Structure 1
Amino acid sequence: MPRSSKSRQKPPSPPRPSASILLVSPANEILLLHRVQTSSSFPSAHVFPGGNCSATHDGEIPGVDDEARHRDGDVYRWAAIRECFEESGLLLARKRGQDGLVSVPEEQREKARKDVHAGTRRFKDVLVERDAEADLENLIPFTRWITPTNVPKRFTTQMYLYLMPLLSSSPSLPSSDEAVLPLPTSDGGIEHTAARFLPAQDWLSQARADEIILFPPQFFLLHLVSEFLIPSSSSGASSLDRETLQKQRSALLSFIDTHKWGNKCISPSFLTKTSDGRAVLGLDKSGPEIEAMKKGGREGTSEWVVFVDFRKEGPRRVEVGKRDEVLKEVRESGKSARL
């Protein structure tokens, strides 16, 4: 008796462990990196700094069937801080016994970035040389995302929020000029062309105007952050005083803690289509890997959905909506079309 087509389907590829950081500047702006068109992951998109976990640099990676593979842990924290350094040059580390982030002369910093990226120096050795410690404890878990099973290249990505220290006076990090990153030399290619801090609202506006590409996880998290890290209506976030910046941060941290965003695990699932042809993605599923463990408590969010137009060049017309409202609108538009 011939086997069904379902039984002949290949099992989904195991998701690779990775980590990313929503890096908040002293002006409460978010760092995004622009990936090149030839990138194997998220081509041409704007992304948070991050990448795959490395056993060489970050420590032992939990096995495919290990529950720890899909939970926050030191290996993910090390990967997040290392990748941020490699990709943006910002070293989230502190001098032993001192407050504030460690400062590294530009020439030494750029050499270390290239060496770590090429694998000729361990990231932890770079820190030892600077008598510095990676600021692991100030990484705040902010959802985990597991790629759906219909995508060949899958990841289990731990997202973090990191708040760079507020300055004693007006924030001085630039928000209007592009900071061009050095070219990686490990394979002679280029991963990112630029790194830039902008208010979350500005990044969302650029995506809505089709000026940049944001994938659903990045768009959704920026949407959440934008409700709290609000720039001045006159001249941008850099004009806000220190007290206002701190109040915004405190409100965001309270939101994350109250709604347990640090424990949410999201594997987007297709629900339906809108009247204009966009896919509606549910965010309530945690993915087969989590469901198989039957541990509970690792759900996504049933409050929100993301709708998106998947095109050859990447996702477009991405937006976030309340699940009940969006599905009701889809049902009503379907009824109208049949009348």
Structure 2
Amino acid sequence: MTIDGFAAPPALVEHARRFRAEGGVPAVPRVAATVLLLRPTGADFEVYVIRRAAAMTFGGVYAFPGGGVDRSDSQAHLEWAGPRPAAWGARLGLPPEAAQAVVCAAAREVFEEAGVLLAGPDVATVVGDVSGDDWEAARQDLEARRVGFAGLLAGRRLTLRSDLLLPWSRWITPEFEPRRFDTYFFLALLPEGQRTRDVSGEADHTMWVRPADALARAEAGELAMLPPTLVTLAQVAAAGDLAGVARAAAGRDAATPVTPRLDDSGADGPRFVLP
């Protein structure tokens, strides 16, 4: 599968053409974060994907756990391990406060949607199994916004392990979409002793899959995926193994946004093309 263009669904093509014809005003993108959870499998590795429920935005497509930055992410005052917010800001192209909010959102969302907590009692360790009833109650309180992420961690004397997140890329939804996101993509290795759980009310199916297999199934029409997911899967698959993925992440530009553009002038029909 090439990653420089994708066939565009007819419904999106019609929507984009109507937007252009009517002189539509692009919606302001909401800042968001998403996390590719990775785990080793033999000499290879797998990535965790969820299928958004039909009633959700982008329903019916497979994606990675993630969501919008919440107000509580911007107001978080918590114990912090790894690069300081200023260093994160340099990598993400954001002011330190905004960068901290994006990193907090990434860690919060992966706990809310996959039951995986990137935190530990100190700067060098990570919590183990967080699937017990008490942790599930805490996760539900977080999801319902009865408690903030910083409050959850502070109550258990935990430190956010920002160093477990590797920045990868940034994508902005095309201008013709009514709901747009400015999404920062991160990678994270599944912490030892933890396991993903199908806990998100926003998903109707979850699975671990090798990136190459996911791409093959998407090309065969078995898995519906949007361009950011397809491109990111192809990029991590090309890295070869987990060590290669980590090396690739270190040199990635995670600040410059990528926005798919609809090109309907080609002989092969309308396609999403990348800048």
| TM bin (shorter chain) | 0.7 to 0.9
Query: Which residue in the other structure is 1:277 paired with?
Result: 269
Q: Deviations over 1:241-296 (max 9, x none)?
A: xxxxxxx22322333444x3333320111245554435141x22xxxxxxxxxxxx
Q: Which amino acid aligns with 1:99?
A: T
Task: Report the Cα distance in structure 1 between the residues aligned to 2:98 and 2:236, rounded to whole angstroms.
Answer: 20
Shift of the alpha carbon at 1:31?
0.8
Query: Which residue in the other structure is 1:135 paired with?
Result: 161
Which residue of 215, 222, 234 maps to 1:204?
215
Does the C-alpha gap of structure 1 residues 279 and 75 become closer, same or farther in structure 2, counting only changes over 3 Å? same
Task: Report the Cα distance in structure 1 between the residues aligned to 2:94 and 2:117, rounded to whole angstroms.
Answer: 26
Please tell me whether residue 76 in structure 1 is matched to residue 90 in structure 2: no
Does the C-alpha gap of structure 1 residues 98 and 68 become closer, same or farther in structure 2, counting only changes over 3 Å? closer
Alignment map for 1:1-339 (pairs within 5 Å)? 9-27=23-41, 28-39=45-56, 41-59=57-75, 68=94, 73-165=99-191, 181-182=198-199, 190-229=201-240, 248-258=241-251, 260-272=252-264, 275-281=267-273, 283-284=274-275
Q: Which amino acid aligns with 2:259?
A: S
Q: Which amino acid aligns with 1:45?
A: V
| Percent identical residues | 26
Unpaired runs of 5+ in structure 2?
1-19, 77-92
Q: Which has the higher contact order (CA 8 A, sep 6+)?
A: 2
Shift of the alpha carbon at 1:104?
2.7
Q: Which amino acid aligns with 1:42?
A: F
With the length of structure 2 as denominator, give the TM-score of the two structures. Answer: 0.76
Does the C-alpha gap of structure 1 residues 166 and 278 become closer, same or farther in structure 2, counting only changes over 3 Å? farther
Aligned to 1:85, the other structure's residue is in SS state helix
Q: Deviations over 1:127-162 (max 9, x none)?
A: 122221122123111111111211111111111111
Q: Which moved more, 1:148-157 or 1:214-223?
A: 148-157
Aligned to 2:94, the other structure's residue is in SS state helix
Unpaired runs of 5+ in structure 1?
1-5, 61-66, 174-178, 185-189, 230-247, 285-339
Figure out how many residues of one structure are paired with residues of the other and give that number.
237
Aligned to 1:86, the other structure's residue is in SS state helix
With the length of structure 1 as denominator, give the TM-score of the two structures. Answer: 0.62
Q: Quick check: 2:33–2:106 contact (8 Å CA) kept in 1? A: yes
Q: Quick check: 1:16–1:156 contact (8 Å CA) kept in 2? A: yes
Q: Quick check: 1:142–1:161 contact (8 Å CA) kept in 2? A: yes
Task: Report the Cα distance in structure 2 between the residues aligned to 1:102 and 1:131, rounded to whole angstroms.
Answer: 14
Q: Quick check: 2:37–2:190 contact (8 Å CA) kept in 1? A: yes
Q: Quick check: 2:111–2:117 contact (8 Å CA) kept in 1? A: yes
